[in-house]
Structure formats: C-alpha cells, structure tokens
C-alpha cells in the first residue's frame, strides 16, 4: 500500500473507533463523517489542509447514512455522501468533489467473464445459487451484500431493480475493504464495491477481478468519460449553506490542487 493511502486508511480506522460513542466535537477544528468510499481520500486532503491552515479535521467513516444524519444532528460540520442527494433531502446542500462507480467483483480464480443484469438479479434474489448456471464452475455462489445505510447498497439495488428484503445474502459487509477481503478470500464469492477501491486493489495484485457492466469495462477511465452505467457523485454535504469554516474546507477539497489526490485514490475529480 502506498504511503498516502496507508495514512488515509489509518486515519479512517482511528475515526471508526469513535462511532460507538458518537462524534467528538472540538470547536478548534472540523468533524467530517460519512461515506467509507470517500473517507480515505478526504482524510488525505484533511491532512494537507491541516498542514496549510493549522486547523484539525477529524475524518470518520461509517457510511453515507451516518454522514447525513450527523450533519442534521449537529454532530459533524460536513458529511460525506457517495451519491447524489435524493429529492426529499431538500434541507441539504451538496458539493460534488469527485466521481466514482460501483463494480461487480469476483475472485481472481473465477473464470466468469461477465454477468447480465438478469443473472445478477437472479443470484441476489437466491434464484440462481450455483456458478454452473451462469457458465462458471459447479460450485455454490457466496453472495456478498452491503449493509443498510451504505449508498453503494442503495445504488446497486436501484440499478438492478432489487428489493433488499428479497436479497439472499450469505455475507453482509460495510466498508469496501471488507468486501474486497471477503471476495479475495473466497473463490466462489460475488460482491460489489467502489470502482476506485477495486481498481487500486487489482493493480496491487489482490486476488479479485472486476466484471464489466452492460458491456462496459468497470474502470476509472470509463467513469471519467461517463460511459460506465453505474456512475455516482462523491459529495460533501451540509445542512443549508455551510458555515464559514466548512466552506473553506470544502473549497480546499474541491480545488484543482487536490485533483492529484483524488486520482491517487482512483477517483475522478470534478472539472473546476
């Protein structure tokens, strides 16, 4: 793992230890919580912001749902949401800082080259339970699903027209790294995670393989050119207009100077 990403993951894991007791607010700094997809890159950006301004930014994961709840309850200054705002979230203001996608992943030893939307639906509904039925080996499929409160789950369900109550999951995970570790350790698993996280891990020779979606390769390049069908926004969110302190951090995170940081994490920075 490179030094930058390692530092970010360390910050994320440290922040996650605070979830059980809630966010510890410190008036001398900022608290940013939410999307586990965004947390590592925002932690890297927060470190640079602290070096530049002397203002500490505490970045914690826990999922998009947590970030939105925390800003609404005043537990965080800024939330991280790895999706667009819903129509009923009119109390929130979002600032898109990057884009990502959601990719299906299998173990590197699995010979499956692609799955159709119908095949994915049948697998997640428990109607297809063995890889042989979709052209793979004669082995049971281990279905890996995301936990409630994760935007990755919401977008996946919407794209494939699934109801989470009908998903026949064998394993339920939270963070992207949990999903990647699960699939890398199980030759018969099928899961879905951030394209950025998956692309980083495949280049690091982790034992996963990313499947195309709708005939389009699940790559950062196809997220950037908007060909990939399951693309999503990565947003910083506040309740109403951000405070002056939050606005300054958001502007820093959205500045062209931070574009290389997003690219280092295999995300697509927005045009500035």
Q: pTM of the predicted model, to two decimals?
A: 0.83
Q: Do 248 and 198 sit in the same domain of this protein? A: no
Q: Do 109 and 182 sit in the same domain of this protein? A: yes
Q: Do 244 and 209 sit in the same domain of this protein? A: no
Reported residue count of the chain is: 272
Q: Do 52 and 80 sit in the same domain of this protein? A: yes
Q: Do 210 and 112 sit in the same domain of this protein? A: yes
Q: Do 206 and 124 sit in the same domain of this protein? A: yes
| pLDDT number for residue 24 | 43
Q: Do 123 and 214 sit in the same domain of this protein? A: yes
Q: Do 94 and 174 sit in the same domain of this protein? A: no
> Burial letters for 215-253: b for 16+ Cβ neighbours within 10 Å, e otherwise?
eeebbbebbbeeebebbbbbbbbbbeebeebbeebbebb
| pLDDT number for residue 271 | 77
Q: At 48, which CATH number? A: 3.40.190.10
Q: Do 65 and 178 sit in the same domain of this protein? A: no
Any residues with CB less than 8 A from the CB of 20 and at least 6 apart, and which? none
User: Which of 104, 100, 94, 93 is CA-nearest to residue 38?
Assistant: 100
Count of domains observed in the chain: 2
| pLDDT number for residue 28 | 67
Q: Do 26 and 116 sit in the same domain of this protein? A: no
Q: Do 133 and 188 sit in the same domain of this protein? A: yes
Classified as helix, coil or strand, 159 is helix
Q: Do 178 and 260 sit in the same domain of this protein? A: no
Low-confidence ranges of the chain (pLDDT < 70): 1-28, 272
Structural domain range at position 19: 3-98+233-269
| pLDDT number for residue 22 | 42
| pLDDT number for residue 272 | 53
| pLDDT number for residue 186 | 98
Any residues with CB less than 8 A from the CB of 83 and at least 6 apart, and which? 64, 151, 154, 155, 232, 233, 235
- Condensed to tens digits (0 to 9), the pLDDT of residues 220-229 reads 999 999 999 9
């Amino acid at each position: 793992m490179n030094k930058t990403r390692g530092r970010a993951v360390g910050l994320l894991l440290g922040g996650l230890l605070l979830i059980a007791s809630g966010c510890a607010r410190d008036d001398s700094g900022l608290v940013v919580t939410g999307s586990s997809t965004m947390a590592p890159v925002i932690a890297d950006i927060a470190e640079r912001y602290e070096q530049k301004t002397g203002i500490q930014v505490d970045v914690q994961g826990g999922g998009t749902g947590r970030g939105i709840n925390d800003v609404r309850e005043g537990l965080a200054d800024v939330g991280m949401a790895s999706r667009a705002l819903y129509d009923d979230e009119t109390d929130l203001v979002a600032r898109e800082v990057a884009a990502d996608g959601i990719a299906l992943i299998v173990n590197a030893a699995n010979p499956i080259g692609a799955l159709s939307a119908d095949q994915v639906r049948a697998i997640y509904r428990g109607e297809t339970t063995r890889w042989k039925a979709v052209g793979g080996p004669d082995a049971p499929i281990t279905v890996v699903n995301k936990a409630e409160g994760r935007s990755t789950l919401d977008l996946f369900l919407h794209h494939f027209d699934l109801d989470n109550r009908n998903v026949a999951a064998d394993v339920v995970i939270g963070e992207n790294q949990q999903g990647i570790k699960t699939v890398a350790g199980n030759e018969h698993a099928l899961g879905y995670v951030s394209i950025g996280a998956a692309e980083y891990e495949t280049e690091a020779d982790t034992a996963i393989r990313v499947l195309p979606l709708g005939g389009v390769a699940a790559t950062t390049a196809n997220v950037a050119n908007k060909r990939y069908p399951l693309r999503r926004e990565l947003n910083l969110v506040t309740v109403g207009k951000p405070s002056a302190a939050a606005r300054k951090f958001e502007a820093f995170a959205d500045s062209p100077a931070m574009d290389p940081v997003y690219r280092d994490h295999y995300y697509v920075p927005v045009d500035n």
